[in-house]
Amino acid sequence: MRRPLITLFFACLATSAIARDLEPSAASHLRMNDLQAIGTHNSYKVAIPPAELAMIATRSEQAARALDYGHLPLKDQLDLGMRQLEIDVLYDPDGGRYARPRLPQLSGVAYDATGMDKPGYKVLHMPDADVRSQCATFVLCLKQVKAWSDAHPKHVPILIMMNAKDGKSTVDGGTNALDYDAKAFDALDGEIRSVFGPDRLITPDDVRGNHKTLRDGVLASGPKSGWPTLEAARGKVFFALDEGPAKVAVYMRDHTSLEGLPVFVNSLSETADHAAYFTMNDPAKQFARIQAAVKAGFIVRTRADDSTTEARTNDLSRFEAALKSGAHYISTDYPTPRPEFGPYKVVLPDGAAARANPVRVKP
């Protein structure tokens, strides 16, 4: 359903009492799970060149339509107020695995392979098909975020989500992505720690504290329990692995509460020992579950739009549901409008970088 701009205007008025920006300061009692902020989906992604998008469309117009988006450099997104980034990573321990993608070869459109020959995690959406990134390596992406964070030390905590890509190439003659094992995830943790030291990183151990499980720490009350206060979390980042049960189990490496690990995971259930963070991407269908998780103390990420659909019709209903659900981080492909689609964009009321969460903080 298309919502006129006047509808969103009045919705903003209704929430104005809690829309005060949490940067650069907030009430001392607020914790990092008392905020609400906007982020971006596939934050690294550079738009596919028209010639290559046309080639994709010959096989699937729907796929081409869904892939027709891109983002500004990470620094610019952070400047716009984005406080959640999503980065797809691909394991490349020897280097060069993804340096010569097929679609650019077939299209003849120039492809910059700088950094792709070196060992380490690479950043791209789909091997051989959707391969251009604002930062080609994971470490480069993290260094860009850290440089911005260094220059803006009062920012609220930034969530960096990761998808660990694997599987077969969608292009004939392409390169299949490698699977993940404990060694692969050891390497991923190592790259995170090579950029963000313990003074800049919020980890599961920080939230668990002295409690038996991470979940116990999240749900506990008291001044030294659970998520850090917003003031203590300023200038820091935290990471979440957005994957299903099988890959989450591999990442955990028998650390049932993620002990000693730098990354939260998409929790298998609200009762799991490691439960702290959830990806729930449909704020309409999952509205009740999101609200319940937020009220309990878990952190939730959801999406305001998907596959360019809402932007093409200026449909803000999914975003409005996300706001009301209390999801902490609301992801979009449109922090600014795409003129040929229309005025659709996703911003918090009053243009705040982060506001008090409407489900957790009373006006």
- pLDDT single digits (tens) 178-222: 999 999 999 999 999 999 999 999 999 999 999 999 999 999 977
- State the alpha helices, DSSP H only, in 197-354: 204-208, 214-219, 230-233, 245-252, 287-296, 309-313, 317-325
Q: Strands of 138-211 (E only): list them.
A: 158-164
- Concatenate the DSSP letters of all residues of 26-81 into one string: --TT-BGGGEEEEEESSTTBPPPPHHHHHHHHHH-HHHHHHT------HHHHHHTT
For residue 31, the model assigns a pLDDT of: 96
CA atoms within 13 A on the CB side of 44: 28
As given in the structure block, the two tokens for residue 260 are: 């000693």
Amino acid identity of residue 87, one-letter, is: I
Contact 351, 18 (CB under 8 A): no
- Token duo for residue 111: 């492809």
What pLDDT band is residue 24 in, cutting at 50, 70 and 90? confident
Residue closest to 103 by CA, chosen among 43, 51, 66: 51
Quick check: 90 and 124 in contact, CB under 8 A? Answer: yes
Nearest residue to 98 (alpha-carbon basis) of 109, 90, 108: 90
Measured CA to CA, the distance from residue 237 to residue 15 in angstroms comes to: 27
pLDDT reading at 142 higher than 70: yes
Identify whether the C-beta of residue 39 lies closer than 8 Å to the C-beta of residue 159: yes
Cross-strand partners of 355 = 36
- pLDDT tens-digit readout, 219-246: 997 766 799 999 999 999 999 999 999 9
Q: What integer pLDDT is reported at residue 10 of this predicted model?
A: 34
Compute the distance between CA of residue 220 and CA of residue 227 in angstroms, rounded to an integer: 10
Taking the C-alpha atoms of residue 147 and residue 141, their distance in angstroms, rounded to an integer, is: 10
Q: What is the CA 190 to chain-centroid distance, rounded?
A: 20
- pLDDT, tens digit, 9 for 90 and up, residues 27-66: 888 999 999 999 999 999 999 999 999 999 999 999 999 9
Taking phi first (over 0 means left), then psi (-120 to 50 degrees means alpha), and beta for anything else, what does residue 81 get? left
Spatial separation of the C-alpha atoms in residues 329 and 126, rounded to whole Å: 24
Given a cut of 70, whether residue 109 has pLDDT beyond it is: yes
**Residue in this structure with the two tokens 């480069």, named with its chain if needed:** 140
Choose between 26 and 39: higher pLDDT: 39
Angle (deg, nearest 10), helices 317-325 and 287-296: 30
Tokens of 144: 């860009």
The percent of residues above 90 in pLDDT, for the chain, comes to: 90
**For position 8, what pLDDT does the model report?**
40
CA 103 to CA 52: how far, in whole Å? 7
pLDDT at 363: 77
Phi and psi at residue 266, to the nearest 5°: -65, 105
